[in-house]
Amino acid sequence: MLTWEFPPRIVGGIARHCEGLAKALAHLGHEVHVFTLDFPGAPDYEEMNGVKVYRTVTELGHPNFLTWALLFNHFLEKRLGSVSQQVKFDVVHVHDWLSAPAGVSFKYGVKKPLVLTVHSTEIGRAQGLHTPDSRAIDGMEWWATYEANKVIVTSGSMKGEICGHFNLPDDKIRIIPNAIDSTNYHASIDRESIRRRYGIGSNEKLVLCVGRLVPQKGIEHLIHAVPNIVWRHPEAKIVIVGEGWLKGHLEYLARSSGHGWKIRFTGFLPDSEMIALMTSADVLVVPSIYEPFGIVALEGMAAGVPVVASYIGGLAEVVEHDRTGILVYSKNPESIAWGVDRVLSDPGHSHWLTENARKMIQKTYSWEGIAKKTLEVYKEVK
């Protein structure tokens, strides 16, 4: 398995997806090797719950992200080649375009099938192809789907997107959703103490948003909704968790909203703290404008917090409106404020939503079930 991010390097959802899938495959009795990038303080090799993890030192850097990705693939390929002298692999599984060059080379080097999981696309993330780098990444994504024996996507909307954009045959694609380890959200916590750490008083409501601070997450639309939310619920405070290059602009929007003192940016939080904060929230808002799946919605459901999410992409497949959560119009602050009000104004109904969501998580989104579906794809290509 090749992935540019794997714990403790966590940039987005790919790290958690690869960790959950790898551990579940190992638990089912399979030998799993994960090749990823180095991270300060992390060993270059370790075994995690039966998963063999190889972290590769990237000896050359570059300020341009695309150039850096092409450079680190060289070092991934070297590490793969070295380990393959001792290990006979059966299948190569690449996650997104970032590790595709090493995966494609290795496919031909060891003459083994290649499986590719497409977690998102450049044309979707950037809402179009506006720069030479974007067009190059788009080309690499097409190339990876062409070279792969099978392509996995996490939602029906994502299948439609890549079939339409890359002209892929329908039978090359398999839909396997993301999953979550719901046991991580069962820990006993001191809810009031956690809320106090983030300036939330006992009589106040915590409106939480978790995600990378980049345009596709739509966080500016939540900020634009804050005056309306506060007008309906003066006791509400908004906490935004995450890092990203849009952070300065979002902080400016918060200050300009007239309710800057109601909005707090925490930056990146480790998993344990993020789970504790999520479990302590009154509502989780996922205001994305592009979301192939939306694993943060599953995390909110597992934590027992009502979810308000954009009616787009994979989110519309994960959240069933007014049964497991509330769906609102994307890029629409008034609709977001309506969704938050729907949750905060009716605690009984909100509790019913969270109970339905937890049952749905246990039934549909377990890592063991997702691993078994992934194994079926491996058997198809062998």
Which pTM value belongs to this model? 0.82
205: helix, strand or coil = strand
Q: Which domains does the chain have, with CATH numbers?
A: 13-179+366-381 (3.40.50.2000), 182-364 (3.40.50.2000)
Q: What is the identity of the amino acid at 375?
A: L
Kindly tell me the burial class for residue 286, based on how many C-beta atoms sit within 10 Å of its own C-beta (0-12, 13-18, 19 or more).
buried
Is 217 a residue whose pLDDT tops 90?
yes
For residues 68 and 62, is the Cβ–Cβ distance under 8 A?
yes
Q: What DSSP string runs through 87-151?
A: ---S-EEEESGGGHHHHHHHHHHHT--EEEEE---HHHHTTS--SHHHHHHHHHHHHHHHH-SEE
Question: Could you give the CA distance from residue 40 to residue 9 in angstroms, rounded to a whole number?
Answer: 9
- Per-residue pLDDT tens for 125-138? 888 899 999 999 99
Is 304 a residue whose pLDDT tops 90?
yes
Is 186 a residue whose pLDDT tops 80?
no
* CB proximity list for 45: less than 8 A, separation 6 or greater: 52, 53, 54, 55
Rounded to the nearest integer, the mean pLDDT of the chain is: 94
For residues 287 and 310, is the Cβ–Cβ distance under 8 A?
yes
